[in-house]
C-alpha cells in the first residue's frame, strides 16, 4: 500500500445481517487532505467511519489507517485519530476545562503541559472565556468547538468529523468550517468530513466521495466530477448540482 496515504481501503465491506451497509469500498486519502464524504441518509458513511476507527469490524476487505489495521490495533489508532461524532456526547456535569483535562489525561498529557495545551486549544476555538462553564450549558455550536479543542489537545493526525455542523446556525457553520480548514492547512491534519451542507463542503474540500446505498459511486476532485457530469470546469458548477446528478442516476 501507498506510504503517503493516511487511509487506504480495498473492497471494504460491512453487512448487517443480509443488508449491505458498505459495499466493496476502495478509498485512498492522503496526508493533509480534506476529504468530503457525501451521500444520502443511510448510505453507509457512519458505518465506514466506524470501521476506519476500529469501532466496528469489517465483514470483508482490507483497511489501513496510518499503516495500522484498526480492527487489530484499535488503541493505537484511537490515540492518533480524532472523532467528532454525529451527536457529540460530553460529560455534561464537567466544565470545559475539566473535560479537556480528562482528554489530556487519557492521552498521557499531564501537569503544566496539559494546562498550556488546554489554554491554547480553548483560545484557538474561541472558548477562552467559557472554560469554567458547565458543558450542560453549552450551545450546539460551543459543543462542536469543544470537540475541535479536543482534537487539538490530542494533537490528532487524522480526524473524522461526522456532520460537524448539524443543527448549527449559518454563522456557527461558517466558523466551524473555517476551523476545520485551519486544522488541515495550518497543522497538516488529515480530515474526513461527512456533511449534507454541500455549499460548505464545496468551499473547503480537496476531494469528495459520493456514497449511495453503500457504494462509492464517485470519488475525486470536485472539478473532475463536475466535468464528468456536465463537461464544465470548476467555476461553473455547484457541488449540489453534481451530487444530485450522481444521486438521480444511481
Ligand X SMILES: Nc1ncnc2c1ncn2[C@@H]1O[C@H](COP(=O)(O)OP(=O)(O)OP(=O)(O)O)[C@@H](O)[C@H]1O
Query: What's the min distance (Å) between Cβ of 46 and Mg ion?
Result: 3
Judged by beta carbon, residue 44 or residue 54, the one nearer Mg ion is 44
Start-to-end Cα distance in the chain? 30
Q: Quick check: 44 binds ligand X (CB under 6 A)?
A: yes
**β-strand pairing of 34-38 with 207-212:** parallel
Q: Quick check: 39 binds ligand X (CB under 6 A)?
A: yes
Judged by beta carbon, residue 25 or residue 65, the one nearer ligand X is 25
Among 25, 38, 45, 101, binds ligand X (CB under 6 A): 45
Q: Residue 156 in contact with residue 80, Cβ under 8 Å?
A: yes
Stretch that binds Mg ion, among 37-45, 68-76, 103-111, 224-232 (CB under 5 A): 37-45
Stretch that binds Mg ion, among 38-46, 59-67, 183-191, 217-225 (CB under 5 A): 38-46
Q: Which three cell numbers stand for residue 33?
A: 487532505
Q: Quick check: 43 binds ligand X (CB under 6 A)?
A: yes
Nearest of 162, 161, 195 to residue 180 by alpha carbon: 161
| In the block, residue with C-alpha cell 438521480 | 248
Judged by beta carbon, residue 43 or residue 210, the one nearer ligand X is 43
Rounded to whole angstroms, how far apart are CA atoms 246 and 88? 30
Stretch that binds ligand X, among 37-45, 132-140, 169-177, 183-191 (CB under 6 A): 37-45
Q: Which three cell numbers stand for residue 174?
A: 461558517
DSSP 196: S
Nearest of 226, 231, 193 to residue 39 by alpha carbon: 193
Judged by beta carbon, residue 23 or residue 130, the one nearer ligand X is 23
Question: Which residues sit at the interface with ligand X, rule CB under 6 A?
Answer: 16, 21, 39, 41-47
Amino acid at each position: 500500500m501507498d506510504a503517503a496515504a493516511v487511509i487506504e481501503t480495498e473492497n471494504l465491506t460491512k453487512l448487517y445481517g443480509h443488508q449491505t451497509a458498505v459495499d466493496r469500498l476502495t478509498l485512498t486519502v492522503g496526508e493533509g487532505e480534506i476529504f468530503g464524504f457525501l451521500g444520502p441518509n443511510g448510505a453507509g458513511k457512519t458505518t465506514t467511519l466506524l470501521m476506519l476507527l476500529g469501532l466496528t469490524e469489517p465483514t470483508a476487505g482490507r483497511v489501513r489507517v496510518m499503516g495500522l489495521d484498526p480492527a487489530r490495533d484499535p488503541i493505537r489508532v484511537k490515540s492518533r485519530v480524532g472523532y467528532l461524532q454525529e451527536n457529540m456526547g460530553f460529560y455534561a456535569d464537567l466544565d470545559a476545562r475539566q473535560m479537556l483535562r480528562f482528554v489530556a489525561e487519557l492521552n498521557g498529557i499531564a501537569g503544566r503541559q496539559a494546562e498550556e495545551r488546554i489554554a491554547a486549544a480553548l483560545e484557538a476555538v474561541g472558548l477562552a472565556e467559557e472554560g469554567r462553564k458547565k458543558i450542560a450549558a453549552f450551545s450546539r455550536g460551543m459543543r462542536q468547538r469543544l470537540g475541535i479543542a479536543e482534537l487539538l489537545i490530542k494533537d490528532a493526525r487524522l480526524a473524522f468529523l461526522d456532520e460537524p455542523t448539524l443543527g448549527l446556525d449559518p454563522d456557527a457553520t461558517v466558523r466551524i468550517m473555517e476551523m476545520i480548514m485551519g486544522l488541515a492547512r495550518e497543522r497538516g491534519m488529515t480530515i474526513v468530513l461527512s456533511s449534507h451542507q454541500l455549499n460548505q463542503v464545496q468551499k473547503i474540500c480537496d476531494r469528495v466521495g459520493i456514497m449511495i446505498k453503500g457504494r462509492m459511486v464517485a470519488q475525486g476532485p470536485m472539478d473532475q466530477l463536475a466535468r464528468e457530469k456536465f463537461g464544465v470546469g470548476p467555476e461553473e458548477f455547484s457541488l449540489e448540482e453534481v451530487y444530485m446528478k450522481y444521486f438521480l442516476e444511481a
